[in-house]
Structure 1
Amino acid sequence: MRTITGTAADVPFTALPPADGGSAPLIVTWHMLDAPRSDAAFAAALPMHDLPAWRVHLGMPMCGARMVDGSTDAIVELFSTDPLMSFLHPFVRQATEEFPAALASIRAQLPVDDGPIGVLGGSLGGAVALRVLAETGTPVFAGAVVNAAIRIRSVVDLFPGEYAYDAESGKIADSLDFVTKADAITAPLLVVSGEQDHPALRTDASDLVGALGERAELLRVPGLAHPLADEPGIEPAPQLPQARAVDTGLTTWFRRHLELR
């Protein structure tokens, strides 16, 4: 597939153009911290080839081109120190805060139109997409999340040991519960949930769709666990069958809403 790589306000990206390579709407994505754990690998897992839109996959902090010393060891150290306050929350906060400047840079570099965008996030990148939807006021024509971090407490519970919340970390965790923020998410949202994903994340996906009502759809994918690619998930790899099913669902969803713009 034809790809364009670069940086947008210091954020690395992998862009996939529409078939004609010309001016078109924009869909922005944030990848998982599980495989695929880079913008290039996420683009290969979910290319959404048939969309008449630019798909620009942004790199998450300390991933891909921003890895420290070319490895994920620094990330492991962060979540070993404090999974919420050293890892999950800072990553979501940084990716959200750097997005407006990255979006402006993308618009300056690529022939994308100036209308509402689409947003997509996987796993922890899903929390970024949901925060953009709920908190930034960015015009969005449609969003989607895949095996997403919808309630950060559910993600914290996946790490070993019992997490000791205090007043500050409890407040942060509450701020990253998007079921309670459903009223602030006004764009239509597709919630993709693997039938083999972590049980708490599957529950959160159902709860978010329930809270959003007619604004949301739930797509359950048989056989899909949490990752969308095989390890190590840093470099682009052939699309797995379960990822292809997700890709088809996303393409159908965004195409429908592109036609309604």
Structure 2
Amino acid sequence: MNPPTTGTAAGVPFTALPPDGETNAPLIVTWHMLDAPRSDAAFAAALPMHGLPAWRVHLGMPMCGARMVDGTMDAGLALMREDVLMSFLYPFVRQATEEFPDALDSLREQLAVGEGPIGVLGGSLGGAVALNVLAETEIPVFAGAVVNAAIRMRSVVDLFPGDYPYVENSARAVDSLDFLARADVLAERAPLLVVSGELDHPGLRADAVGLADALGERSELLSIPGLEHPLADEPGIEPAPQLPRAREVDAGLVAWFRRHLAEAG
């Protein structure tokens, strides 16, 4: 088993797990959660997807991991307290989406990555990034997957205390990240595995079931009994041993991507 490779791609930190003995192998790109595991390195440890004949490159989200300010999450938490949607959730997803094409080009230059379609995977808020890449870009994708994902951003905002004071621009922003409403676009892009912990937040769980239903034959729902929202123990910044529930998720992802890699040739 080859060791991880770390670096930056157009300013985006990454942890890359290479395939064994492969050159010009396909690429699967991931975006981590803001719950544990909340860094690219920690997400790589939680969901390494070993055994796939593909690079698994885990990208760092804004202000997380190597991009934390002063080595802590305090700056991000301050933005969350300022305005959970417009200072925190929405700009994080937009930045991660907008910086991805340049990061992808850089990864292709740095790693022995094939030129064909990629796979995408996101957990929690990183799931919104993966879905947004599918909905907003034309980057070829052979298959996608999301885990306990932010499928409707209104459902995520509802997890925070109080009633969010939506106005015109914030309503427009939150609805732009409603991927149930964009299921027809997603269905045209790539097959999607929707992984949902049966003990995830009820709103997120309902959105996962709804998205899988809306996508029909282009999607599968993988329910994980006993899985709550996080995939790792706190603090979730450094790599940690894989938890049993995360191992179940990992096995489902390996089977999904292996099947679609084979179909993609």
CA contact (8 A) 1:135 1:184 kept: no
CA shift for structure 1 position 134:
1.0
Which among 235, 250, 254 is matched to residue 253 of structure 2?
A: 250
> Residue 239 of structure 2 corresponds to which residue in structure 1?
236
| 1:119 and 2:123 matched | no
> Residue 101 of structure 1 corresponds to which residue in structure 2?
102
> Residue 31 of structure 1 corresponds to which residue in structure 2?
32
Which among 214, 219, 222 is matched to residue 219 of structure 1?
A: 222
| 1:196 and 2:196 matched | no
Provide the secondary structure at the position in 1 that maps to 2:56: strand
Give the alignment of 1:46-85 within 5 angstroms. 46-85=47-86
CA contact (8 A) 2:22 2:53 kept: no
> Residue 209 of structure 2 corresponds to which residue in structure 1?
206
**Alpha-carbon displacement from aligned partner over 1:135-165 (angstroms, at most 9, x marks no partner):** 1011000000000000000000011111010
Separation of aligned partners in 2, 1:16 and 1:203:
32
> Residue 164 of structure 2 corresponds to which residue in structure 1?
163
**Alpha-carbon displacement from aligned partner over 1:62-100 (angstroms, at most 9, x marks no partner):** 000000000001111111111000000000000000000
Aligned residues: 261
Provide the secondary structure at the position in 2 that maps to 1:12: strand
> Residue 86 of structure 1 corresponds to which residue in structure 2?
87
Provide the secondary structure at the position in 2 that maps to 1:230: coil
> Residue 5 of structure 1 corresponds to which residue in structure 2?
6
Separation of aligned partners in 2, 1:38 and 1:188:
26
| One-letter amino acid of the counterpart of residue 34, structure 1 | D
Separation of aligned partners in 1, 2:245 and 2:226:
7
Runs of 4+ in 1 over 6 A off after TM superposition: none
**Normalising by the residue count of structure 2, what TM-score does the alignment of the two structures yield?**
0.98
| One-letter amino acid of the counterpart of residue 178, structure 2 | D
> Residue 179 of structure 2 corresponds to which residue in structure 1?
178
Separation of aligned partners in 1, 2:32 and 2:203:
20
Provide the secondary structure at the position in 2 that maps to 1:158: coil
Give ranges in structure 2 of 5+ residues lacking alignment: none
**Normalising by the residue count of structure 1, what TM-score does the alignment of the two structures yield?**
0.99
Separation of aligned partners in 2, 1:240 and 1:220:
16
CA shift for structure 1 position 22:
2.3
CA shift for structure 1 position 21:
4.5
Give ranges in structure 1 of 5+ residues lacking alignment: none
CA contact (8 A) 1:192 1:221 kept: yes
